[in-house]
Amino acid sequence: MSSQSHDEWNDIVASYEESRHRVKRFEVVPPGSPWAEGVDAKAIYPRQCYQRAYDYAIHESRCLEKHHLVHGETRLALGGHSWVELPNGLVFDGVFQRFYRREDYYGEMAHATPWYIYDAIAAHRLGVTLKVSPGNWWSHLGLPMIWNRPPISINDQYAMELIDKYYMQSGEAILPTLPKYVLLGLAKRLGIKVGTSVKKADLISLLMQSLKPKV
């Protein structure tokens, strides 16, 4: 990294630290386990909101909890932003590594507006499947952009439907890379009757044929 780019990055970090300090009065004491697990209060992560929120949401200590990964926008950053809603009325911001009251985060503090709300299991499934930045999920899944409309809630069942659609639309670019058991599950959900002894190539062919318009 050149000295100039290093200085530029330091300026970005300083700007985010200033923003975190500006909303310090809204911070709440970190809740106990499992919500405080994996949080580094000494760190700050500029431009990493999607990944940091995702990492927090799927942390193994919280795998059975009722929390939600949220993609949307706030006044804390330009463009999209991501955070995690906790069931105790709090919000975790992964960039700032801080907890805030939901009413403040959606109100005076950040004026947050949610676009897509994923439950934790759905978020984990999508992350494992898509293997792209969570900030790009909406485009891979064909989700509509949110303009003056309610947010879209995505539970595990809906996530599976979106993944099936993603697989089928990707067709030959994706299907051959999937394990056979995944293809069998996809075929079952699409109503295609095949036995477990079917060859993978034949199974892919059946799936591709299901995409063709019925004459």
Phi and psi angles of residue 120, each rounded to the nearest 5 degrees, phi first: -60, -40
pLDDT tens figures, 77-114: 888 999 999 999 999 999 999 999 999 999 999 999 99
Residues whose CB is less than 8 angstroms from the CB of residue 56 and which lie 6 or more positions away in sequence, other chains included? 38, 39, 62, 84, 92, 94
Cα angle 127, 184, 117 (rounded to 5 degrees) comes to: 30
Say what percent of the chain tops pLDDT 90.
80
Q: Are 167 and 174 in contact (CB under 8 A)?
A: yes
> What's the whole-model pTM score?
0.90
Using the CB atoms, write b or e for 50-87: b if 16+ within 10 Å: bbbbbbbbbbeebeeeebbbbbbbbebbeeebbbbbbe
Span 60-84, mean pLDDT?
92
- What integer best gives the mean pLDDT of the chain? 92
The one-letter code for the residue type at 94 is G
DSSP 8-state secondary structure symbol assigned to residue 109: T
Question: According to the model, what pLDDT value does residue 1 have?
Answer: 47
Q: Report CA 159 to chain centroid distance, whole Å.
A: 11
pLDDT tens figures, 157-186: 999 999 999 999 998 899 999 999 999 999
pLDDT of residue 7 exceeding 90:
no
Q: How confident is the model at residue 4 (pLDDT cuts 50, 70, 90)?
A: low
